[in-house]
A = this chain, B = another copy of it.
Amino acid sequence: MRIAIAQLNYHIGNFEGNIAKMKQAISEAKKQNADIVAFGELAICGYPPRDFLEFDDFIRLAEEGIMTLAEAADDIAVIVGAPAKNPEPEGKDLYNSAFVLYNGSIIHTAKKTLLPTYDIFDEYRYFEPCHDFNVFEFKNHRIALTICEDLWNIGNENPLYTVCPMDEMMPQRPDIMINISASPFSYTQSQERIAVMRENTLRYNLPLFYINHVGAQTELIFDGGSLVIGPSGKIVEELPYFREEIKVYELEEVMQEKSSITQPKDKYALIHEALLLGIRDYFGKLGFKKAILGLSGGIDSALATTLAAQALGSENVRVLLMPSKFSSDHSISDAVQLAKNLGIQYDIISIESAFDAFEKSLDPIFGDLPFNIAEENIQARSRGVLLMALSNKFGNILLNTSNKSEAAVGYGTLYGDMAGGLSIIGDLYKTEVFELSKWINRNGEVIPENSITKPPSAELRPNQKDSDSLPDYEALDEILYQYIEKEQGPREIYAMGFDPKLVDRILRLVNINEFKRHQMAPVLRVSKKAFGMGRRMPIVGKYLS
């Protein structure tokens, strides 16, 4: 028995594209004499299709796609995920299903039981959980086919569900487990995934073929890393991250567990590749090529620009340098240096005249009122106007350069430096921005050293430093991490030894700035808890605020 894993990059709602890609993979698998080829969860429509699932028209296209693939399943069994209608009047209208296609027919259907509904997942919004469990037979093997979360209820002390689909199937004596997944990246995810999947092989003493998606869908980045694990828990192969792969395995060899291939898991190497894929797919899937960014000479925009240039090519990235009277000399020189290092187009436009025009226009109203946040923000927003003007004129997407620390505490200007279609580094705390920048410079300077070493400043008033209004980033980021990723409350964070006043101030800033994050671009997600769809907070609330 030869089983092919097809780890592919799908596009949400692009049925034609997804099906063409799968047909090609079927040919490839057949060429390598595979008996079965398996694709990912909801592969037919891409993951997550979100509320498109509520359209009958969308479901009809998925059904048609399945029949097209069934035709292509010519002497090879094809396993593919798709939404399917629930025939019963009671319950949700759909199942999250896996179809087994063979010689023009559907020979088996598995339905997902455990529906992740937390963080970025909303599956119970659409799907009815399944309560019947059947292995299927193919070429003298008995296969337990499950979908993603169905294998995730074991190996932890606080399981989310009260049922384990594999436990239910074991009386039917399966000899192979196949799991089709759509499991997005975070920098700790592949380790957790391996641990959970190994637990399954150890608990059931069965080999496991685990097929993940690869590719980005707006903020979510699927990393691949599909797995083949032997019956005694040995990783026979972990497929590469961040790229498509079709690979065929001889079951006999998997049972023997002779080889073992895994992937390196360096945090910043992973984040770097994830972000490049995230940028590339955002542009590619939207049909855009070119990006524009504002480059200040500071570390955030330097890192974001570098990532954009690496992802899209230097020829597709241009930057605007937009000095004001508060800009220091090194702002321009550091920014120019980076543009030269990257070989990207740059232009310099001062915001002085726009700022002056606004000041004069507002003079009848503002009169003698002192310079304050209003004037600071006029500068940031004038930059936003210029960047969007180039975006509109040349069809370049503006990329946002905010980091997670400033997005957390609201240290950014809505419609100013918070503008942009996609936030590239919005899931990296400032301390991680520095680490990733150093990692990028590991073999020589790409990002000017001075951008890394100088004290961070927004340069919106004379001699401003971030440290004037924010705590030291080491402490800030640790408190933010405990609050955001670990969901620790104030009492738990005090107990870690932080100054309660500081903790209260930071948590309050996070909560009262929810209104800003609500209007922020989608953030490429690399951590367990990014701002955006995975963290849903009230705006008008009064908790820790």
Contact = CB atoms under 8 A, between A and B. Distances in A.
Of listed A17, A158, A161, residue having the most chain B CB within 10 A: A158
Contacts of A224: none
Contact of A540 (B93, B217, B381, B490): B217
Nearest to A153: B90
Contacts of A24: none
Interface of A: 11-14, 17, 46, 48-52, 54-58, 60, 89-93, 117-118, 122, 124-125, 157-162, 216-218, 281-282, 285-286, 347, 349-351, 353-354, 356-358, 360-362, 364-366, 369, 372-375, 377-378, 381-382, 384-386, 388-390, 392-393, 414-415, 419, 421, 487-492, 515, 518-522, 533, 535-545
Given A347-B365, A388-B377, A522 B543 contact: no
A54 B536 CA distance: 10
B349 A365 contact: yes
28 contacts: A11-B542, A13-B543, A13-B544, A56-B489, A57-B488, A92-B160, A93-B158, A117-B124, A217-B540, A281-B540, A285-B540, A349-B361, A353-B361, A356-B357, A357-B357, A358-B385, A358-B386, A361-B386, A372-B393, A374-B393, A377-B389, A381-B384, A381-B385, A382-B385, A384-B415, A385-B385, A415-B415, A518-B521
A543 B61 CA distance: 10
A490 B57 contact: yes
A286 B373 CA distance: 20
Closest 4 CB pairs of A and B: A57-B489, A13-B543, A14-B542, A374-B392
B91 A538 contact: no
A392 B373 contact: yes
A54 B361 contact: no
B162 A90 contact: yes
A416 to B, nearest CB: 9
Nearest to A385: B381
B12 A542 contact: yes
Contacts of A218: 538-540
A54 B393 contact: no
A540 B446 CA distance: 30
A130 to B, nearest CB: 12
Contacts of A515: 421
B489 A55 contact: yes
A336 to B, nearest CB: 16
Nearest to A545: B13
Nearest to A54: B487
Contacts of A49: 538, 541
A545 B11 CA distance: 13
Most chain B CB inside 10 Å of its own CB: which residue of A13, A385, A537, A544? A385
A540 B361 contact: no
Nearest to A125: B117
A216 B539 CA distance: 11
Contacts of A360: 353
Contacts of A13: 538, 541-545
A158 to B, nearest CB: 6
A345 to B, nearest CB: 10
A39 B55 CA distance: 37
Contacts of A415: 381, 384-385, 388, 415, 419
Given A372-B392, A382-B385, A388-B414, 7 more contacts: A13-B541, A50-B537, A58-B543, A92-B160, A285-B540, A354-B357, A358-B385
A375 B393 CA distance: 8
Contacts of A286: 540
B52 A541 contact: yes
A475 B149 CA distance: 44
A490 B369 CA distance: 56
A162 B91 contact: yes
Contacts of A381: 381, 384-385, 388, 415
